[in-house]
Amino acid sequence: MLRLCVCALIAVLLAPPLSRAAASAAKPMVVGYVFTQDAALVPGQIDAQKLTRVNYAFANIKDGRMVTGFKLDAENFAFLTGMRKENPSFTVLVSVGGWLWSTNFSDISLTAQSRSLFIQSVMDFLRRYDLDGLDIDWEYPGMEGAGNRFRSEDRQNFTLLVKELRKQFDQETARSHRRLYLTIAAGASSDYLAHTEMAKVAKYVDTVNLMAYDYVEPGSDPLTGHHAPLFTNPADVRNYSGDASVREFEQAGVPAEKILLGLPFYGHVWGEVADHNHGLMQAGQAVPNAYAPYSAITANMLNHGFVRYWDSVASAPYLYNAEKRIFVSYEDTESVAAKCHYVLTHKLGGVMFWDY
């Protein structure tokens, strides 16, 4: 069922251009995060023909150096880089950090010496596994995130880290004649922008992967809502959306063509939600299995007591089960198509999704 979202995404973004001007424009990117943990990738699991890039999540940081995160990473890297034969333009990046493994970013970016040690480990890592670059998923500079160490200096040190990484990547490219890509995963919030220098950072990175999802989550937010709406619904006083975040990042100095709009291939589930407005923007509580992969939504919820509704203002779908009093915010083929059209209309760099 996941392929339905992927195919809808590809069909819109990679449709034949309508004019010579469109034909000369850069093809929008489709970037997918792959998070296998300790599982092995198998043939047929990834379709390299439908992707620009894979960001393999996650590498970790230990003793100031980047290291593999899971036991089968070497085998999975070999599997992914072998897929270049199917699509010569397909690239494989490693993503370092993530929500739980961002603990050491503040330390490794603190001094010239610590940055140098980390960057050298990155270069060794990329050569060892024949990778095409690095995606930095620091969640988040200058903020605690998942209980991570942070400093006020993170704001400037993050800039220095990407600047010095870009310098090393450019030197390696000049030596090997093979381009290395540098990207970041960015939190879609005003707080993230306040704690970073995005106008400067944007000069050194190829793309900013905007995590335009998890705006609201069960457990941390007492009201239900769309966790990844394309547009802001004025009826929701929280005033958030992918469009609002894109505009804020552009105002902060990030060029539109470097922004990849993030799509979630999963939903969030609230329980004990009253049957008002089909559960939308109502009080709710966290429930077990509140994180629902798209495959689980299509197999166990749609047409199984859950009714799908569409918020035409937010361009977002949602489900409600009146009998069980359960509300689900998620992404489907209609909302993916709307976001792809938005990307094309606003001339963004493309899309990324979590996760394949």
Based on C-alpha coordinates, what's the Rg of the chain? Answer: 20
Distances (CA, A) of 201 to 13, 27, 54, 111, 347: 27, 23, 22, 18, 20
> Which residues are CB-neighbours of 264 under 8 A, at least 6 positions away?
213, 214, 227, 228, 330, 331, 353, 354
Q: What six digits make up the tokens of 63?
A: 């003793």
Give me the half-sphere count of Cα atoms (radius 13 Å) on the Cβ side of residue 339. Answer: 36
User: Shortest CA distance to 59 belongs to which of 6, 110, 139, 122?
Assistant: 122
**Catalytic: 139?**
yes
Cα–Cα distance for residue pair 285/269, rounded to 1 Å:
9
**225 token code pair:** 């809502």
The active-site residue out of 86, 139, 323, 331 is 139
Please give the structure tokens belonging to residue 246.
Answer: 């894109």
How far apart CA 327 and CA 93 sit, in angstroms, is 36
Which residues are the active-site residues? 139
